[in-house]
Amino acid sequence: MAIIPSEQKFHTLDKDTPTKDRGSKQAQALRKIYTMADIVETAGGGGGGIGGSITAGQIAFGAATSDEITGDDNFKITGDDLLIPSVIAHTGDTSTKFGFLNPSGADFQVLIQGQTVLRGTNTGSVQLQNSGFICLETLGFPGLGVKVTGQMNLASLNTAPSASDSTGTLGEIRWTSDYVYLCTAANTWVRAALATW
Contact 83, 77 (CB under 8 A): yes
Q: Kindly state whether residue 35 falls inside one of the protein's structural domains.
A: yes
Q: Kindly state whether residue 123 falls inside one of the protein's structural domains.
A: yes
- The residue from 36, 66, 83 where one domain ends is 83
Which among 132, 134, 95, 133 is positioned nearest to 115, based on CA atoms? 95
Q: How do the pLDDT tens digits run along the chain, 197 residues long?
A: 667 676 666 666 666 766 666 666 655 666 677 776 677 677 665 444 445 555 565 555 555 555 555 555 566 666 677 777 778 888 888 888 888 877 666 788 888 888 888 888 777 777 777 666 677 777 777 677 777 888 888 889 999 999 999 999 999 999 999 999 999 999 999 999 999 99
Q: Kindly state whether residue 138 falls inside one of the protein's structural domains.
A: yes
Q: Which residues have a Cβ under 8 Å from the Cβ of 166 and sit 6 or more positions away?
A: 187, 189
Q: Kindly state whether residue 190 falls inside one of the protein's structural domains.
A: yes
Contact 76, 83 (CB under 8 A): yes
Which among 180, 176, 171 is positioned nearest to 188, based on CA atoms? 171
- The residue from 83, 99, 125 where one domain ends is 83
Query: Is this structure's pTM higher than 0.75?
Result: no
171 and 139 both lie in a single domain: no
Q: Kindly state whether residue 121 falls inside one of the protein's structural domains.
A: yes
Total tally of structural domains belonging to the chain: 3
91 and 141 both lie in a single domain: yes
143 and 94 both lie in a single domain: yes
- The residue from 43, 60, 83 where one domain ends is 83
Q: Kindly state whether residue 13 falls inside one of the protein's structural domains.
A: no
Taking the mean position of all CA atoms in its chain, how far away is CA 166? 43
Domain that holds residue 194: 157-197
105 and 78 both lie in a single domain: no
